[in-house]
Chain A
Amino acid sequence: MALLEVGSVNAFYGAVHALKGVSLAVEKGEILTLIGGNGAGKTTTLRAISGMVRPRNGTVKFDGQDITGTPPNELVGRGLVHVPEGRGIFANLTVAENLELGAYTRHDRAGIAADLERAFELFPRVKERQKQLAGTLSGGEQQMVAIARALLARPKLLLLDEPSLGLAPQLVATIFSIIREINRQGVTILLVEQNANMALKVAHRAVVLEVGQVAMSGNAADLASSDAVKKAYLGH
């Protein structure tokens, strides 16, 4: 059984029909990437899953339970963690406080400390910056804080929205290798990316969204070599 099942979800942004019956499934242990152009509904799909947008109809099932329309704060404790687009760090808090909020719903001090150490292994830069206000960090560092913070919630499924947005190419490569490492440690990942090239390289499977509908889906490697995808998203 898939860890996450999205069944023909329709969602609106005001009057805009943003999702027109989107269905997809994320299997335990994989990286599924959601690619597509601007306004294809990638971010809305993530928001519908994490409860920030209430679907008009359709179902979202996580870990065997129906979570359609459940507010996001109730999903964090169940292991569904969403890192929003534009990093969503709290610029007015220190890095340490940002990380502390990642573990907001947890009460096992020892477990949190262990997870913090693990996050610092992945992001040594974050460890150095703990006392700094998060708003003073560079874009790449902020993204690292956002992902490290998400890991402190001990996610089963991590929703990543455009983690490479606005980062220097070198940093993009670093972030993607870390994403792969996190996945290797057992976290299932649903990755939304505009940078289809990189996304298809790290993901196991991919779903292509076009104006609120699933246009294609399949193996990431297969899609990367398909002519339609190459033409539309990979710029070949």
Chain B
Amino acid sequence: MSDFLQILIAAVAVGSTYALLALGYTLVYGVLKFINFAHSDVFVLGAWTSFTASMFVTQRMNVDPAHAPWWVGLCVLLAAISVASTVAYCIERFAYRPLRKSPRLNVLITAIGVSLLLQNVGQLTGPAVVRETPTTVTKAAADLTPAERASETTKINGEQAQVQVQGKPLATLPFGSSPRSMPVLLPDAVLNETTAATGVMDGGSRRGMVKLDKPVTLEEGRTYSLQTERLDASGKPTGERETLGVASPAGTYEKGTDIRTQPARNAKDVQGAAYTLTIAPEVPIRLLDVLIVVSALVLMAGLEILVYRTKLGTAMRAISYNVETAQLMGINVNLVISFTFVLGAALAAAAGFLYPMKYPGLNQPAHQIWVLLGLKAFVAAVVGGIGNIRGAVLGGFLIALVEMFGAFYISTKLSDVFVFAILIFVLLVRPSGILGTTVREKV
């Protein structure tokens, strides 16, 4: 049961990012009746822009990305959305619009071309936006290059010279061909853990020993952990948290007795700090997952309101039914189509920001894994009924559930097979998708 619930939570978190991505496919299909194959690359662009922006902001602010204030995440999200939207606008304006009246196939091929272009540009290594901190090395003065000799930071003392070496690039524009690790900018904690005891780290020995403020029973088979905060030399909390495993065997411990923990990274750092002894829940609900799902749901609700409750949304749906008649209503069709692309890209960028929060390994922009992710989101849109907004959301969650449960209960290797099997099944049984309506070809 606990496995089941944990997978369910993970599937809902991943499903919400699939759904955001699927919405972009469905929106563009809705107004233009073509599959924007460059959409997954806009998602990748969002992810990599998030990475670059977060490295840039945190280095400028001189904070560790893992402990950045909450609004950094928001800024990074907005940066990713603006970059992806601008790029999507340009793609539509310069690649797709000139082909609006040509056969569908031409646009499709162009979309694949745009996709390849984005993938390859993304692999270029441009100027470094963020570098490692410069280091100083000692060199014989005779070996100095002319550039080093001219540099103001080079200090020559007789035969020896101190040369400052620029750090390696950490984030570049465009994005380069090596994988990176995305800093998790959203706060994370286990929401439903219970506190067993609190107290002060007494540091009775070099191993973390903590005195209990009340009796505690450690049960067999449960996971206990101890959270504390590092202190600086003067004994003030630094805000850096440390989590230690509990090393004492199961049993009942009286008030005032010690519980042993795994050693802290530096025992001195935590000596005298306040601690909390917590019991890990059987099914941990993590704040990160909740934030991912909530952000995605807020965006989806916003989209639903935009499309079904505003004049602009009515115009989008009108264009989806008949472009010519929409124009006769006074709707500026080009403007609304551009807006639709930008909207889809914004959602993809949001997904590109949220997805690496859960899976921080950021592959290079042309990596197969991105293509597969985009493909799954596309499958989600088709399964839900392409062109249908609620269908895309439903499809996103459905695909993630099938993928995750299939991987856990049947076979990890086959998880993608299940996803595409769903596609084949839906196409056989209900070709228009679960929520799709049958389209009658106009004669």
Contact = CB atoms under 8 A, between A and B. Distances in A.
Contacts of B317: 90, 92-93, 97
B328 A76 contact: yes
A104 B328 contact: no
Contacts of A101: 314-315, 318, 326, 329, 331
B329 A102 contact: yes
A90 B327 contact: no
Contacts of A77: 330
A93 B314 contact: yes
Query: Which of A73, A82, A83, A97 has its CB near the most chain B CB atoms (within 10 A)?
Result: A73
A30 to B, nearest CB: 22
A104 B315 contact: yes
A85 to B, nearest CB: 11
B243 interface: no
Contacts of B328: 50, 52, 72-73, 76, 81-84, 88
A153 B327 contact: no
Contacts of A104: 311, 315, 329-331
Interface residues of A, number: 26
Nearest to A101: B329
A114 interface: no
A71 B326 CA distance: 12
A232 interface: no
Interface string A94-137: 00010011101100000000000000000000000000000000
Contacts of B333: 73
B321 interface: yes
Nearest to A78: B330
A91 interface: yes
A60 B314 CA distance: 31
A214 B325 CA distance: 27
A52 B324 CA distance: 8
A8 to B, nearest CB: 25
A100 B327 contact: no
Contacts of B62: none
Contacts of A73: 327-333
A89 B330 CA distance: 14
Contacts of A93: 314, 317-318, 321
B320 interface: yes
A149 B332 CA distance: 18
A134 B322 CA distance: 14
Contacts of B325: 84, 88-90
Contact of A76 (B311, B318, B329): B329
Given A73-B332, A73-B333, A52 B314 contact: no
A81 B331 CA distance: 12
Contacts of A105: 330
A89 B325 CA distance: 8
A43 to B, nearest CB: 12
A39 to B, nearest CB: 18
Interface string B102-127: 00000000000000000000000000
A166 B141 CA distance: 96
Nearest to B325: A88
A206 to B, nearest CB: 24
B421 to A, nearest CB: 31
A74 B321 CA distance: 20
Nearest to A97: B314
B314 A72 contact: no
B322 to A, nearest CB: 7
Given A52-B324, A84-B325, A90 B330 contact: no
Interface in B165-192: none
A90 B325 CA distance: 8
Contact of A72 (B311, B321, B322, B327): B327
Contacts of B329: 73, 76, 101-102, 104, 149, 153
A97 B35 CA distance: 27
B443 to A, nearest CB: 12
Nearest to B333: A73
Given A52-B324, A84-B325, A90-B318, A100 B311 contact: yes
B327 A52 contact: yes
Interface string A137-174: 00000000000010001000000000000000000000
A72 B328 CA distance: 6
A130 to B, nearest CB: 14
A97 B328 CA distance: 15
Interface string B295-328: 0000000000000000100110110111011111
Given A101-B315, A104-B311, A92 B321 contact: yes
A91 B442 CA distance: 13
Contacts of B311: 100, 104
Interface string A49-79: 0101000000000000000000111101100
Contacts of B314: 93, 97, 100-101
A92 B438 CA distance: 12
A107 to B, nearest CB: 10
Contacts of B318: 90, 93, 101
Nearest to A76: B330
Interface of A: 50, 52, 71-74, 76-77, 81-84, 88-93, 97, 100-102, 104-105, 149, 153
Interface of B: 311, 314-315, 317-318, 320-322, 324-333
25 contacts: A72-B328, A73-B327, A73-B329, A73-B331, A73-B333, A76-B328, A76-B330, A82-B328, A83-B328, A84-B325, A88-B324, A88-B328, A89-B325, A90-B318, A92-B317, A93-B317, A93-B318, A93-B321, A97-B317, A101-B329, A101-B331, A102-B329, A104-B330, A104-B331, A153-B330
Q: What are the 7 tightest A-B residue pairs by CB atom distance, in nearest-first order?
A: A76-B330, A105-B330, A88-B325, A101-B329, A90-B321, A104-B330, A72-B327
